Every structure is written in structure tokens, then in C-alpha cells.
Amino acid sequence: MTADPGETPAATVDAGTADLTLDAKVAAADVPPAILAQSLGEYVRVWWLRVRSGNSGLLPVVMAIVVVAVVFEIITPEHAYLRPSNLVYIFGLSTVYMVLAMAETLVLLLAEVDLSVGAVALIGGVIAFKLVQQPGPDWPWWLAVLAAFAICGAIGALQGALTAVLKVPSFVSTLGGFLLFSGVLVIILGGADSTVSLNTSDPNQNVIYEMVQGLISPVVAWIILAVVVVAAGASQWARTVRRRRRGLTTPPLILTAIKLALTAIFGAAVVIICSVNRGSSLRSVTGVPWVIPIVLVVLGIWTVVLQRTRFGRYIYAVGGNPEATRRAGVSLPAIRIWAFALCSATAALGGILLGSFFYGEYSSNTADPGQLVLYTVAAAVIGGVSLFGGRGKAIHGVLGGLLIGGIAYGVSLLSLGSLSTPLQYILPGGVLLIAVLIDVQSRRGAGAVTGV
Amino acid sequence: MTEVNEAPAGASRGGDGAEPLLRLRGIDKHFGPVQALYGVNLDLPAGQVTGLCGDNGAGKSVLTRTISGAHQPDHGEIFFDGKPVHIRSTRDASALGIETVYQDLALADNLDIVQNMFLGREPLSYGLLDEDSMELQAAETLSSLRVTTVRSIRQPVASLSGGQRQSVAVAKAVMWNSKLVLLDEPTAALGVVQTRSVLDLIKRLRDRGLAVMVISHNLTDVFEVADRIAVLYLGRMVAEGPTSTFDLQSVVQYMTTGTASGRPYEAAGSASGKG
Amino acid sequence: MTADPSETPVATADAGTDDLTLDESVAAADVPPELVARSLGQYLRASLLQVRSGNSGVLPVILGLVAVAVAFQILNSKFLSAQNLVNLFEQSTVYMLLAMAEIFALLLGEIDLSVGLVMGLGSVVVAELVQPSGANWPWWAAIIVTLLACAAVGFIQGTLVARLRMPSFIVTLGGLLILEGVAIIVLGGSLVGIGNSQYSNELALYDIFWGSFSPVVGWILLAVTVGAAAAGLWRRDARKRRRNLQAAPRSLTVMKIVLIAVAGSAVVAVCNINRAHFGTIEGVPYIIPIVLIVLGACTLLLQRTRFGRYVYAIGGSATAAERAGVRLPVIRTWCFVLAGLISGIAGVLFASWQVSLTTNIIKASNSYVLLAVAAAVIGGTSLFGGRGKTIHGILGGLVIGGIYNGLYLLGVSSQWIDVVVAGVLLAAALIDVLSRRGAPGRT
């Protein structure tokens, strides 16, 4: 098991002693417990010590999800929050934020920020929608999607170049990008009140529509889940065994087993929820939305890229110590430009999903790019990605996105009348501030110097 | 890739009259109107530790950076393994086998020991990082250098003590077929115990046949670990020779006035005399 | 004349020579020419050398103003008409105030993204408070409470940044979201208007933006202001000369006074031209002196007080400032309070300008922050901290106002205007970065 750079805070702590024993010193030394623990009991003990010393990893976001679920379930009229039909809606809405948060994570890891991710996402969505129009360009859906990726990737590369080569601070260049592309969005749409929508009777356009709205039948979903769990389990097992044989560091086997079991349980829960009939007895609506496996694929890709490729390694390195990375021979501008480009390209996917989520309709009122970016940064940060760079993983974006989606939808379920619109602004703002506060405090608690 | 327990081919142990690994002759370097180095000569034999001393502003950093490829000299020649070379970049230096450990160590706090040691030169297997062989090799290097106080090689570097970080930085330099290692103030920020372990590490490098140059303000450390001493004064090399020909007072005098007891340094039959 | 901290760039240049003669080494050493010039001629020559060596001060923005004026006048001959010019001044006041607010954050090396929404919130609060059917407060009480509220918002944000050390762009980003929600709540979901002239409080508020002095009063005010400024400048320079301190040559002081008088006269003259289609509207609008008072107060604060000196110090090197005993959290918090306060003033003007405020207008006030940042940077304030003056906000605000006004006159749709402004912001940021080339910076 490798020490995931996503998990280690950038603290400098003098251990004081050469000998690191498995106790408070280790916790203070911020070593991921999986590395040193020889048994499950040790692991739990060290993990708890780490939590108490302020380095809690996924715990806050998971707890927050639980709290949000409980609170909204209580205060929603008729306790409807946890109804399967609402839950599936939340899953669907959250996927947009998950994808956007994963995109933003790439840039946050560099200790930069991309404030244009919302506007770029919408541009990507609109471009894809416009390209599949009949009569019109009538491109095949996959080509339209690729075009959206490419164009948004180019936008990101441009912003990355401004930041990396011309040294314009990233929040200024992406702030300008935000304004620029908000305007461009309206221009592409053809005016402030125009819309572009998908015609679902056209099979080509229907594919995009089905990304969020389409469903996988429960049987197929179970099969897919089983295959994924077994494959993941087998490969993890094989890897652990192989590393043990070569004498390399491995976590206790039972830990791997527990993680696998938890994943399987969570997956099963999702499938079960989605399999409950949420239509009527006349027209049953069951099944897992296609978007969930789509997002899991994106999660898988970004996890592999960030943890297992050179490029991902260098992203963490630049976020941790740009000077050291430069001296190691890595081209800083190249890494930065690619990170911004990939962030914007991934955001394009988020935009396409957003359009699909809103029943295939895109207008300039579909989403507010400013609100999108705030939700996105909030999702990433509360998921566990640090604003100061060098710490975070793709899974953090997924969990944070789920939380934000849950909050956003929960607020709209409460019939608060005139309060509901302003709350849609106030809540994410508050969540963002709390998330960042936690991030700052956890860096403080770990002894890091965040500057004067 | 260097085999862990063998000395590099062609290395010479000190004192046997063989050609030094690195030889600088007549190096000049100026920055604008400021002349940083005047006609500097320096020999760095393999299997020996050379301590580079000098007051602030004497030119130690400039000289180090010239050897490591960060600066190009205006005049002079550099011979590596007896052959004239032009070191135009840090990559050139690395290719020759020259590795530098700067004072700030250049470690990324959020990465672990293995990831830091391989930063920029990670091996791949099927396009993905070959974590296993990186970990094995890093472990071998550390153990061959007797760096044993680290609990796990997968610890993030942020959690190591100053001495351990220094050891990791040195191990990183040594792992790459290096023949010459330059260390800039390796013990400056360390306490007594940690200084001891770093000095022992330096001696182990020498015992493996590498040439080592250590810049240090701490003359006690220099006298303990160096086989040769070179003193810079206002950009000129005013004294260079075996440690036995110096004492503490004379080194200080060379550093502050360029002469000792009013006389310049005279080499007395050293293995590689001043050119 | 002291070396203004706002004018000395952060670069370190080795002058190469001990003797500060009036030549390239002085220009290279970035010494303000007023300090070493002994005559007007020397001053001009040294200034020119400074410009050529890359340290151009407010020259780019003045050139920008001229370029904007010329370009738009060519495209639309009504641009430089009296009516339009006063319009331009009036519209620019909001940008100027927001830019001045932003400068307080930028000088620290931080940023305040919420200035637009603080303005929006302020406008809604002041409008609601004078509603006869609601709170029905006297206009002056409404204004005071509004300013206090906006300053309080600044205090909260400043505390989060200064004491909890949260990144300022996140705090103000979250802040602007929250403020948007609060503003919508205060608005009560519909609209609020101050256009009903039957109610004296509403009328007073309305007059702030739309009212003006009579022409005679305008000239009197100008005379008094120029007289006071002239006397102040003269006495200060005379006192320095008397004590043998470094002072600008007399001819330079005279020239400055003359320039102020000329510019002021031009403004008053233009404003006094009748600009109404029917009837008479003439005279200097109230808002011009309001903005000038804010400018004067902020300039005084930043250049002549300890507080201001510490602000520049933190922007230059926070560590050095801290070691010198500057209390960073206090200074930082106060800067955000001032930013909030000035945004509140802008809010009062905004309410008066728009007359009726709706939810959409609140949402649109979001984009003002970009204009504020752009105005500050175009004017010459650096994004990296430590360099800038309040006058930059005025000049930059005029440029932005000019661009907006000109494009609007040409019938350009608002989307495209957004695009243009984004381009201008990026260009200004680029210039800022390039002018810092050579100073130690990020990797």
C-alpha cells in the first residue's frame, strides 16, 4: 500500500526522537495508520489518535452526509427526504457536482483555483447540445461530446498558460475567464432568452438525454456491481499477496477486506434504492441511472491518473514543493497547463450531465455559473481537498458532491416560500466557509506554517 | 543504476596519486560588475571528502552551482574523470554523475520517502508507476547507507526529523549512479545527535568510493569528516590540501585574510597538487 | 516630499554608483524624481527616464483614458458632449468607489470579491429603511445605519481573514453568496423604489445621485477647494524647504496647483452646461464632491497615517511588518472594514442611481467586483500587494466607466460588454505581472 499523497498533510513536525513508536508520536507525525499498523486493532487505535489530533481524512464528510440526511429527514414535510424517488433525484443532481468537484480537485492540488469551472461547464454542455441538433450540424453524439471536451480543454489550457507562463495569479485569470465565458455562453445560445434542447425522438440526441435520465434495469445493475466488486477484490488481493512476498509494506489483510466489504455494501444500497419502484403501479420506474456508472468510471480514471501515473505524482509534488519539483527536472508550466486543461475538459462533462439532468434543456437560466463554482469548491473542500495544495483525492470530490447535492435538494424540498431562493445562496456560502475553516484549522493543528 | 554495494568503476581512493575525479582549473565567474570567482583551482578526488570553507560572500555557493551546472563559468576548464567537459545544465551534471543536495533539501512534504527519492525519474511498468521496484530500491539504498531510524519507508517526509530528512536527501542523491556528491551546509540546522548521524553518512559515502564535497561553516564538522580542505577568500582559492596540513586557527585565518601567519598556503606533497 | 511607499516598486536594483546623479542610474534605482530634481526641467527629464526604464506610474492609465476618449469620440460623435460626459462621471462614481474599496484589500495582498454585493446589500437596506410604509426612517439615519451594517460585514470578513487566516478570496466568495441571499430576503422578493417624490426621505435619497449644485455654488466650491489645496501644498513644501528637507522645486508645486485648478475648472464648466432636453439641468452633481471627499480621506489615511504606512508594509512583506511590531490582525481587519464601509457608500449611491431595485439588479451587482478589480489594476494598483494609491481607483474607474459608456452608446449588447471588460481585466493583470518582472516571485 502506498502512502497516498492525497492523504498526507503538508505539515512539518519534528518527531523529536529517532524512534517512532506506534502511539501518540505516530499520530502527531501524521503517518497514515495503514502503513504502520500490523493488526486491525493497531490500525483502529492509530486512526483514532489521528482523528483526535486533527487529521481526520474522510471522517468529516461522511459524518456530514449522515447529519444532513438525518436533519433533512426530520424537517422535510412528511419526512420525504429519504424516499427512494427523492434519493435517486439527489444521486442524479449530485453527479454533476461530483464531476465538477473532481475537475476542480486537479487544480486545487496545485495550490491554484479555477473560478471559471462553472461557466466552462455550461459552455461545454451547450456546445455538445448544439452540435447534435437536427436540423443542423447533426453530429454523432460521441463526436459532439469529444468536441466539447476538446474546446473546453483548450480554454483550460489557455487559462493555465496565463497562470503558469505569464504568472498571472490563477484567481484573476480564472475570474476573468468566468466573466468572459458567462458572456460567451449567452452569445452561443443566441441571446438571453434562447434555449437549446434535445429532441428525444432522435436516437442520436437521445443518448445524451439518457445519460442522466436513462436507467439500467436492476438485474443488469446487480450483475455489474457483482462483477466490479469481485474484480476489485481480486486485484487488490493479488496485489497485497505479491507485495507481501517481496517484503514490501502492506496494510493488514483484514483491513483490505473491510474496505472491500464497505464498498460492496454501499454499492448494494445504491442499487437497492434505485430498484424500488418510484413510478406508479401502471408504469414502473426502476433501475440505476446511467450517470452513476459514468461517474464511477470518471472516478476510476482520475484515481488511477492521480495515484499511479507520473503526471499525477507531479501534480502532488508541485502542490507540495514547486521548487523541489522544478529541480527534479519536471516542467512546472507543462504540469500546470495540463492540469487546468484537464479540469476544464472534465467540467465539460459536468455541463453535459447538467443539461441531461434538466431534461435535455439548456437556457441561460439553467444554472448560474457563479453558484456552480461556489458549490464545486465547497464540495471539493468539504470532501477533503485542501485549498493550499498537495492534499486531496478524486474520491473526496465524489463524497463532497454527494453532500452538496443533498443539501441543495433538501433546501428545495422544504417549502420555505420566499426564503427558498435566498437560502440557495446562503447555505452553500455557509457550507463553503465552514469547510475552508476546517481545512485551515486542520493545517494549523498539524503544526503547518500557513504563512504570516 | 549503481549496484548498491560496489564502488563505481574507475574510482580512486585518496592518496594513491591517481587523477582526481573532478578537476577545476582557472575558473572565472562574474555577475555584472561583480567578480565572484577568480582563477579557482580545485581537485575533488574520489573516495575522499573535501571540505569547502569560506566566509559569507567568498563564492562557495557560486562554485558549487558552477560544478552542478546551474551556472556556466566565464573562463577555465573542468575535467571529469580526466576528460574535459562542459557542464551546461543540471541535467548534464546528473548525466556525468554529479548530484547536489542544496541547503533547503528540495523535498516535497506531502510525498513519502520513496516518492521523494524518485521524484522526476520514476520507473514505469505498463505505463503506470512501478511502485514496487521503487520501494525495493529505495529500501536497499537506505539500508546500505545504514539509515535505519526511519520507521517506514512510506512515511511522509513531513513527519521526519531534520536529520532524517537530510539522510533522505543524501540517499536520493546517491541512488542515481552518482560519482560526486555536493552537500551544501548539511548540518547547519541539526542538533548534536542528528549531526553525528549525518557525518557518519558522509563517511559512508566516501567509503563507497564517491567523491564528496561538503560546504560548511562548522569547522569542527569539517575537521572531523574531511580528508581535504579548500578555502575560498573573496573569490580566490587561497588554500587547498590535505586536512593534516591545516589546523583550526590557520583555516580561520585563510577564511578571513587569505593568508595564515602572513604567508600564503604551500602544498606539501599532496596527492593532487595545485595545477 | 516623502517617498511614497505606494510608488516604490518591490524590485531591488543595484544602482551601481554611490553618487545619485540625475541619469540612468537614478531611473534604474527607481527613485521618485521629485526627490532628486532641483528644477522643473530636471524633473521632467528624470520622469521621462523613469518611464523608459519601465516604471511608469499613472501614465498608462492616463494614456488609456485619452485612448478611450479618442476612440469612442471617433465612433460616436456624441461621446464627448457635455451631457454624455456628465453621464459618464455619474456612472463612473460607483466604479470609482468600489475600486477605492478594493484597493484597501489589494494593498494588503488580499482581495475582496464581495464589494459588489456589499454595495447591493447596502442599496437595498437604505432603500427599505426610508420606505414610508415600512420603517420610514429619516434619510440620514438610514444612511448611517446602512454604512454601519456594511462596515460590520467588512468586519466579519476581515476577522475571518485576519484572525482565522482563511484565504481572502474564499471568505469573500462565500461572503458574497451569503450577502446575495440576505439582500434578497431584505428585498422581500419584489422590488423597492425610492422614486416617489412626495416622501421627503425618498426624495433626499434620490437627490444624492440626481441632484446637483447650482452653477454659482459650483464655482465657489471649486475656488475654495483649489484655494485650500494650493495653500496646503505650498505650506508643506515651504516648511520642508525651511527645514532643509528634501522638497520638490517650487516650479513643480506651482505646476501641480495650476493643473488641479485647470482640471477642476474643466469639470465645473462642463457640468454647468445645460444638459437637459427640456428645461434646465445644470451644475456639479452632488456625487462628485462626495467621491472627492472619500478620495481625500482615503488618501490621507493611506499616505499620512501610521495605519496607512502599516498597510503598505504588510503588502510589501508581512513577515517584516510583523517583526517590526505591526499588529497584522488589527490592520488587516480594519482594511476589510474600510472596504465594506466604502462599498456601503457606493451602495447608497447605487440605490439613488437605480431608483428601483429588483432581485435581478441585486444579482447583477455581482459583476461589479470584476470592474472594481479591473479599475484598481488599470489605475496602477498591484494585485500582489504593497503598491497602489486611491487616485488609481479614480482614474481606473473613469476608464471603466468610459468603456461602458462608449460601448453602450454604440449599442453593443451586454454580453459583449462583459467580454470586453474581461479582456480589459486580463490585460491589466498582465501589465501588472509584467511590471513585476525581475522582482522575486512565485516559482
pLDDT tens per residue across span C237-261:
888 778 777 667 777 788 888 888 8
List chains touching B (3+ CB pairs under 8 A).
A
Contact C173 A182 (CB under 8 A): no
Residue A242 resides in a domain: no
pLDDT band (50, 70, 90) for residue C443? very low
Minimal Cα–Cα distance from C295 to chain A, Å?
A: 26
Contact list in C for residue A411 (CB cut-off 8 A) is none
Domain ranges in chain C are 1-52, 59-189+288-435, 212-284
Minimal Cα–Cα distance from C62 to chain A, Å?
A: 23
- Are A97 and A151 in a shared domain? yes
Structural domain count of chain A: 2
Minimal Cα–Cα distance from A18 to chain B, Å?
A: 6
The pLDDT score that the predictor gives to residue B159 is: 81
Calpha distance C381→C377 (Å, rounded): 5
- Are A9 and A32 in a shared domain? yes
The pLDDT score that the predictor gives to residue A422 is: 79
- Are A173 and A312 in a shared domain? yes
Contact A317 B111 (CB under 8 A): yes
Q: Single out the residue of B114, B104, B74 nearest to residue B166, CA to CA.
A: B104
pLDDT band (50, 70, 90) for residue B9? very low
- Residue A192 sits at the chain C interface (C-beta within 8 Å): yes
The pLDDT score that the predictor gives to residue A336 is: 96
Contact list in C for residue A424 (CB cut-off 8 A) is 181
pLDDT of B76-90, one tens digit each?
A: 999 999 899 999 888
The more confident residue out of C234 and C101 is: C101
HEC sequence for B60-86: HHHHHHHHHCCCCCCEEEEEECCEEEC
| Mean pLDDT in residue range C126-137 | 86
Contact A8 B152 (CB under 8 A): no
- Are A48 and A65 in a shared domain? no
- Of all residues in chain B, the one with the smallest CA distance to A247 is B136
Calpha distance B63→B73 (Å, rounded): 9
- Are A38 and A60 in a shared domain? no
pLDDT band (50, 70, 90) for residue B20? confident
Biggest CA–CA distance in chain A, Å, is 73
8 A C-beta contact, residue C105 and residue C111? yes
Amino acid residing at A427: L
CB-nearest to C180 from A172, A425, A430 is: A425
Residue A236 resides in a domain: no
Residue A159 resides in a domain: yes
Contact list in A for residue B98 (CB cut-off 8 A) is none
Least confident piece of the model among A43-47, B186-190, C168-172, C307-311: A43-47
The more confident residue out of A274 and C26 is: A274
Which CATH number is A203's domain given?
1.10.3470
Query: Which stretches of A276-393 are DSSP H helices?
Result: 291-308, 310-320, 322-327, 332-357, 369-383
Residue A437 resides in a domain: yes
The pLDDT score that the predictor gives to residue C189 is: 67
pLDDT of C403-417, one tens digit each?
A: 888 888 888 877 787
pLDDT of C32-80, one tens digit each?
A: 666 666 677 777 777 766 665 555 566 667 777 888 888 888 887 778 8
- Residue A173 sits at the chain C interface (C-beta within 8 Å): yes
Only one residue has cell 520642508, namely C240
Grid cell locating A56: 481526520
* A447 has a pLDDT exceeding 50: no
* A11 has a pLDDT exceeding 80: no
* A17 has a pLDDT exceeding 80: no
Contact list in A for residue B153 (CB cut-off 8 A) is 249
| Mean pLDDT in residue range C351-364 | 86
User: Can you name the residues that pair with B183 across neighbouring β-strands?
Assistant: B101, B214
Q: How many CA atoms lie within 13 A of C141 on its CB side?
A: 9
The pLDDT score that the predictor gives to residue C3 is: 44
Calpha distance C301→C296 (Å, rounded): 8
Contact A183 C422 (CB under 8 A): yes
C-alpha to C-alpha distances, C419 to A157, A162, C37, nearest whole angstrom: 19, 17, 44
Residue A15 resides in a domain: yes
Which CATH number is B66's domain given?
3.40.50.300
The pLDDT score that the predictor gives to residue C158 is: 96
Backbone angles phi, psi at A269, to 5 degrees: -60, -45
Residue B170 resides in a domain: yes
Minimal Cα–Cα distance from C181 to chain A, Å?
A: 4
- Residue A445 sits at the chain C interface (C-beta within 8 Å): no
| Mean pLDDT in residue range B169-193 | 88
- Residue A248 sits at the chain B interface (C-beta within 8 Å): yes
Contact C181 A429 (CB under 8 A): yes
- Are A20 and A94 in a shared domain? no
The more confident residue out of C139 and A20 is: C139
- Are A210 and A138 in a shared domain? yes
- Of all residues in chain B, the one with the smallest CA distance to A244 is B132
Write the DSSP symbol of residue A284: -
Minimal Cα–Cα distance from B250 to chain A, Å?
A: 37
CB-nearest to A5 from B111, B120, B150 is: B111
Minimal Cα–Cα distance from B120 to chain A, Å?
A: 5
- Residue A69 sits at the chain C interface (C-beta within 8 Å): no
Backbone angles phi, psi at A216, to 5 degrees: -95, 135
The pLDDT score that the predictor gives to residue A2 is: 43
Residue A207 resides in a domain: yes
Grid cell locating B256: 578571513
- Residue A172 sits at the chain C interface (C-beta within 8 Å): yes
Calpha distance A358→A369 (Å, rounded): 15
Return the SS3 of B181.
strand
The more confident residue out of B261 and B82 is: B82
The more confident residue out of A78 and A88 is: A88
0.95 surpassed by pTM: no
Grid cell locating B254: 585563510
Structural domain count of chain B: 1
The count of CB pairs under 8 A between chains A and B is: 142
The pLDDT score that the predictor gives to residue A147 is: 95
Grid cell locating C285: 452633481
Grid cell locating B228: 581535504
pLDDT of C183-216, one tens digit each?
A: 888 888 678 888 777 788 888 888 888 888 888 8
Residue B128 resides in a domain: no
| Chain centre distance of CA A180 | 25
- Residue C325 sits at the chain A interface (C-beta within 8 Å): no
Q: What percent of chain C has pLDDT over 70?
A: 85
**Best to test chain A binding among B159, B166, B168 (most A CBs inside 10 Å):** B159
| Domain encompassing residue B219 | 22-108+161-257
Contact list in A for residue B102 (CB cut-off 8 A) is 327
The pLDDT score that the predictor gives to residue A35 is: 66
pLDDT of A105-126, one tens digit each?
A: 999 999 999 999 999 999 999 9
Contact A313 B115 (CB under 8 A): yes
Contact C433 A167 (CB under 8 A): yes
Minimal Cα–Cα distance from A349 to chain C, Å?
A: 24
Which residues of chain C from 103 to 132 reach within 8 Å of chain A, CB to CB? 111, 113
End-to-end Cα spacing for chain B: 33
The pLDDT score that the predictor gives to residue C16 is: 35
- Are A38 and A154 in a shared domain? no
CB-nearest to C164 from A175, A370, A437 is: A437
Q: Is the peptide bond before A135 cis (omega within 30 degrees of 0)?
A: yes
Residue B134 resides in a domain: no
Contact C418 A432 (CB under 8 A): no
CB-nearest to A12 from B90, B106, B109 is: B109
DSSP element (H, E) containing B231: strand B228-233
Residue B48 resides in a domain: yes
Residue B176 burial (CB count, 10 A)? 15
| Domain encompassing residue A32 | 1-53
| Mean pLDDT in residue range A35-45 | 71
The pLDDT score that the predictor gives to residue B275 is: 34
The pLDDT score that the predictor gives to residue A451 is: 54
* C118 has a pLDDT exceeding 90: yes
Backbone angles phi, psi at B234, to 5 degrees: 50, 45
Contact C171 A436 (CB under 8 A): yes
The more confident residue out of C314 and C8 is: C314
Calpha distance B136→B114 (Å, rounded): 9
- Residue A450 sits at the chain B interface (C-beta within 8 Å): no
Contact list in B for residue A20 (CB cut-off 8 A) is 150-151, 155, 159
